[in-house]
Homo-oligomer: A and B are copies of this chain.
Amino acid sequence: MVERIHLDPRAGIPLYRQLYGQIKALIDSDELGRGERLPPTRELAGLLGLNRTTVSAAYELLEADGLVEGQVGRGSFVSGRQAKPSGLAWNELLGGAAEVPPVSPDSAISFATSRPAESLFPVEEFARTFDEVMRGAGAPAILQLGSPAGYAPLRRYLLEEARREGTARAGDDVVVTSGCQQALDLLLRLFATPEDTVLLEDPVYPGVRTLLERSGAKLVGLPLGPGGLLIDAFERALARQAPKLLIVTPNFQNPTGVTLSLASRRALLKLARQAGVVVVENDIYGGLRYTGERLPALKELDETGDVILLRSFSKIAFPGLRVGWVTAPRAVAERLADAKQWADLHTDQLSQALLLRFAESGRLEAHHQRVLASGRERLAAVLDACRRCLPREAAYTRPEGGMNLWVRLPEPLDAGELLPRAEREGVTYLPGKYFAVSRPETGGLRLSFAGLDPGLIRKGVGILGAIFSAECERVRLARRSDPAPAMV
């Protein structure tokens, strides 16, 4: 029996529980049969290098389970497998524990979530939209089972809009998904297998990184500059890694907020075309440009028409309604609709019909203008607050739109370590570790500003600035008081 026991002091599980679990497993699997004698506690402790009380505690648990019986003067014997209907060992069945997604506390000022301000939601206009949709003759059909590719009138609308804009060509089609996250999931199921290499921006939105990690594909992160993904790095990665797929967010990238320059867009497409790489353009923030000039989508610039474009209503309208869409060559769209069917049959049809009416009635455009005005104000507030409050040694991006800004604290500051202090003072954010692909940025952190009032933005950045500045000062003092090395 002893040779089957393997305890790991670093596993984070008390040794007596490890021992208990392992003996239990031996009994459950009949490797320790009914009637067999367990080694005396003193002997087993000696053999395993354990304290005797550790072994006793494990034996007690086994007795409590009815798996082992102690007989005075004789020792402990296996009394059989658990009599009680034993539940399944879920943790074993489910494999390693899940990565827990970051949960921010109920802080007064949360920069942790990339989402719009609730106060902007035009509930009245939304209700009027609902009335118009439900008064129509098509109302019962909207409540009925729909099509995997999406609600046909919405698909037509989106395709026409895309043609007008130049993001759809003759060979393209549109598939509606439950937001961009599902579009990414379905596309990765089609394209990313464990043999594939996928390039993505670094840092990147955790939703895309996690999906890729689970697909088993090899991830390669490409660093970002003020003009987005660095084309040199992309070119090197193409040469070295022979990737199958590139996922890129050209506008107001999450988490950095940077935008891919026009020159880089052209260069990226040229290189991707030469290398035969599939380009997925995640344009979830594209509709949120507050300043500067609109740049054409990769999909617009791409002469082959091969770019797969992801968009969504969730950032410009209502994230609670899960409606996004993919514009892609028909061969891809067909496979995507097929994957969609088996993933969840189709996207919620009521929300599709409501958003269509919201758009066609002109209400979406009016709402969009209000969202842009609000975003402009909030972006100005966060940039101004960063300029005034962050320590001089900190760097930060200057987005022209979107919902996020990236701060880089100077070394050796650790944004993750400083977070509890910020939370104690009522402010929260997401530290860089959640966004890293291959280059952990200890000092990096994301400020999602779009959901917060300008007043709260200023207050929050002020608090963060004070914490970060104090830490810079502490480090400076510590360095100054470091004893000088001996002269030799």
* A 344-362 to B, binary, CB cutoff 8 A, 1 in contact else 0: 1111111100100000001
A320 x B338 contact (CB < 8 A): no
Residue interface mask A308-347, B partner, CB < 8 A = 1: 0000001000111110000001011011001001111111
The answer to whether residues A134 and B140 also contact, given A24-B166, A29-B170, A322-B347 and a CB cut-off of 8 A, is no
Q: Is A378's beta carbon under 8 Å from chain B?
A: no
CA distance A116 to B140 in the complex (A): 11
B346 touching A304, Cβ below 8 Å: no
A305 / chain B contacts, CB cutoff of 8 Å: 84, 87
Report B-chain residues with C-beta under 8 Å of the C-beta of A85: 273, 303-304
Given contacts A98-B334, A140-B123, A145-B115, are A343 and B84 in contact (CB under 8 A)?
A: no
Instruction: State the interface size on chain A (CB cutoff 8 A).
Output: 105
Interface centre among A21, A304, A347 (most CB of B within 10 A): A21
The reply to whether B18 and A178 contact each other, CB–CB distance below 8 Å, is: no
Q: Does A261 contact B (CB under 8 A)?
A: no
Alpha-carbon gap, A86 to B306, bound state (A) = 10
Cβ-neighbour of A164 out of B11, B87, B365 (below 8 A): B11
Tally of this chain's copies: 2
Binds B, one of A44-52, A125-133, A224-232, A380-388: A125-133
Q: Which residues of B contact A345 (CB under 8 A)?
A: 179, 181, 207, 322
Query: In the complex, what's the smallest C-beta–C-beta distance from A411 to chain B, in angstroms?
Result: 32
Tell me whether A87 and B304 are in contact (CB under 8 A): yes
A62 to chain B, nearest CB (A): 12
Across the interface, A344 reaches (CB within 8 A) one of B113, B131, B179, B190, namely: B179
Question: Is there an interface contact between B118 and A123, defined as CB atoms closer than 8 Å?
Answer: no
A139 to B126, CA, bound (A): 10
Contact of A144 (CB < 8 Å), options: B121, B165, B166, B342: B121
Other-chain residue from B82, B304, B335, B344 in contact with A98 (beta carbon distance below 8 A): B335
Mark A382-405 against chain B: 1 for CB-CB distance below 8 A, else 0: 000000000000000000000000
Cβ of A3: which chain B residues have Cβ within 8 Å of it?
none
Contact B145 A126 (CB under 8 A): no
Map CB proximity to B onto A1-19 as digits: 1 under 8 Å, 0 otherwise.
0000011101111000110
| Inter-subunit contact B344/A165 (CB<8 Å) | no
Residues of B within 8 A of A320 (CB): 141-146, 348-350
11 residue pairs of the A-B complex, CB under 8 angstroms, read: A10-B362, A21-B164, A87-B305, A87-B329, A88-B304, A88-B329, A101-B341, A118-B144, A144-B320, A207-B342, A207-B345
